[in-house]
Amino acid sequence: MDDYSYAYVIGECGSMKRKTRILCEDDMGTHETVYDNQHKNEEWCRSLVESSANSIYLVDRSCRYLFMNRKYLSRLHIKEDEYQGRSYSDFHSPEETQQFAMKVNHVFETGASIQYEYNDNSGKYFLKTLSPVKDSETGVVTAVTVVSIDITELKRAEKEREQLIKELEAKNDEMERFVYTISHDLRAPLVTIQGFVEMLRKDMIQDKNTTNTEDIRMYLEYIEGGVSKMERLLSETLELSRIGRVTNPLEDVSFGDIVGEALEMTMEQIKSSGIEISLAEEFPVVHVDRMRVMEVLVNLIENSINYMGEQRDPKIEIGYRLEKGETVFFVRDNGIGIDPSQHEKVFELFYQVETNNRGTGVGLAIVKRIIEMHKGRIWIESERGKGCTVCFTLPVVNTCTW
């Protein structure tokens, strides 16, 4: 039989009494062979069952194994002669057995097939189809055939897909907010500019001979203020968009080193504001984009300095704590604090607790973006008048030195 290239089995494999025709194609043409031998027929069926990549087995009402194919034997780690007299409960947990027994019972009671998903303790997922084997004369269910398909890979892909969709949706939402904020907040200075230009014109028409230079100077200052605000907004927006695109390679670096660099960058402001700095004695090693994390710290330190208020004894503390197995870094100050109602808003693009000429409301949006790029979280713990603590997480390298 080596010389044929294709073989088709025609006829119902399951019905043992029927004849089976086999067509063989070879160089000489197509030949037909008819088998009516019951033994041969069974052999074909067995071959089909045994060559299946899925587990196939039969059980009786009490979940005792009547038959199982090779695939299932190998899944249970037993040999062909070892399943006789054993039942489902010998290889599965009581919970699994109970679930299975209920399904088997259901097929026996109703005579209908059922299908369900099942995950075993090793994290594998299976799609099981239970079908009744009926006595050809009485129609009574005598056994249940189980076909179990391993869908672990499918499940994993499904989960991954859902996760990706979620991420994309979040990105899309962020993008929409971003475009909205840009289009909206960037226009606010334009109102100012347009407004004062209009006022200049009006005053010139009404006030032909006496030009109030004081007023004109004021208008021009507002216009200039609007222009430079616009400039800052644009350049910081560009900076924000760079964070996602331009990245430095991640490195293992002591968080303390980054803190040191950030303090160097802000030393002048710290000194001139007379702020006392206290640091944790040692810091964990983090796996980060060093420059970006330094930017985070510089931003947070500057915020602390700017919102110190009338504090006579200004302090900034930089440290970390362990919380539910997670390392939480923090920058804490004893300045004016932030009302809980604004804890989330401050991270929004262009949001400012105070409208002043120092900031544009982009700083904390950048900080948040950087932390999130490192798959970390950032939040604020503060009450008005009680100082402010900004907490964040970063990927920590596990170096067990103790």
Contacts with another protein by CB under 8 A lie at: 180, 184-185, 187-188, 190-192, 194-196, 198-199, 222, 225-226, 339, 341-342, 351-355
Q: How many residues does the chain have?
A: 402
CB 361 within 8 A of CB 350: yes
Distance from C-alpha of 218 to C-alpha of 215, rounded to nearest angstrom: 5
Q: Report the 10 Å Cβ neighbour count for 262.
A: 22
Residue 390 CA to residue 333 CA, distance in Å, equals: 9
Q: Least separation, in Å, of the C-beta of 379 and another protein? A: 19
Given a contact cutoff of 8 angstroms between Cβ atoms, the answer to whether 327 and 320 are in contact is yes
Q: Which of 295, 333 has the CB closer to another protein?
A: 333
- Phi first, then psi, for residue 24 (nearest 5°) are -115, 130
As measured in angstroms, the least distance from the Cβ of 275 to another protein is 22
CB of 226 or CB of 335, closer to another protein:
226
Shortest reach from residue 251's CB to another protein, in Å: 39
Closest separation between CB of residue 336 and another protein, Å?
9
Number of H helices, E strands in the chain: 9, 15
Task: Give the C-alpha separation, 287 to 253, whole Å.
Answer: 6
Among 96, 111, 113, smallest CA distance to 147 is for 113
* Residue 326 to residue 49: CA distance in whole angstroms: 51
CB of residue 267 to another protein, shortest distance in Å = 28
> What is the chain's percent helix, strand, coil content, to nearest 5?
45, 25, 30
In angstroms, give the least distance from the CB of 121 to another protein: 45
| Nearest approach, Cβ of residue 177 and another protein (Å) | 10
Cα 55 to Cα 4, 91, 112, 134, distances in angstroms: 29, 14, 20, 21
Q: Which is nearer to another protein, 11 or 195 (CB)?
A: 195
225 or 319, CB closer to another protein? 225
